[in-house]
Amino acid sequence: MTGPTFVPYRPERMPADVGLERGRALVAHLQRRRSVRMFSPDPVPREAIELAVAAANTAPSGAHHQPWTFVAVGDAATRHRIREAAETEERRFYRERQAPEWHEALARLGTDEHKAYLDVVPWIVTVFAQKKTGTRKNYYVSESVGIACGLFVAAIHEMGLATLPHTPNPMGFLSRLLDRPAGERPYILFPVGYPASDCVVPDLVRKALSEALVWAS
């Protein structure tokens, strides 16, 4: 086994005040991001999806195995099949499964089994987590794919688009509909488009920084 190969890394070193100002601007920008369920059917350039996935592809990952696949669907018929299958699982969740605390938590968001937006958005991007790549085992798969998804969401927002992390459970139908190999499992589904002109979102308040950050002694 040969040893690791290294290359120089010389990122820009900026004055602290400049870095802080950029950090404040980023937080202000991300504070305007919301998950939406009301989309416009207006077309979104294919390159926007490519750029969002390129951003996701910069995520750190266990052993640098990058255990993710992003599958983009623009075909209306396939999107409709995804909607039908997702709604089937969601009906079971909302009507049949005994999960009172989970149902109560979702009630304030006004969600239900109807996912009409999956027919409206120009793109559905499904992320698959690779437990193995060929015969190679991957490590910290959920953590790695989760970070990549976060960067994907940030890139979508940066381009003036909107999305919604959607995780119908179970999601095996996505593997069948999108013909993915056995070594992959559906991780999350992202509808991607512009918000509708009459879009509304739940009136929510994000956790305060004092609740999210603890300074350890």
pLDDT digits (tens, 9 = 90+) for 157-216: 999 999 999 998 889 999 999 999 989 999 999 999 999 999 999 999 999 999 999 999
What confidence score (pLDDT) does residue 159 get?
A: 98
Q: How confident is the model at residue 105 (pLDDT cuts 50, 70, 90)?
A: confident
18: which 2 tokens? 């400049």
Specify whether the CB–CB gap between 44 and 122 falls below 8 A.
yes
**CB of 66 within 8 A of CB of 85?**
no
Report pLDDT digits (tens) over 18-58: 999 999 999 999 999 999 999 999 999 999 999 999 999 99
Comparison of pLDDT for 113 and 128, the residue scoring more: 128
Extents of the domains making up the chain: 40-195
* pLDDT average, residue stretch 111-125: 93
CA 142 from centre of chain: 13
CATH topology of domain 40-195: NADH Oxidase (3.40.109)
Q: What is the mean pLDDT of the chain?
A: 94
Q: What is the pLDDT of residue 93?
A: 76
In one letter, which amino acid is 151? L
CA-based radius of gyration for the chain: 19
Half-sphere exposure of 26 (CA within 13 A, CB side): 8
* Overall pTM surpassing 0.85 (yes/no): yes
DSSP state of 3: P
Name the least confident of 108-122, 123-137, 143-157. Answer: 108-122
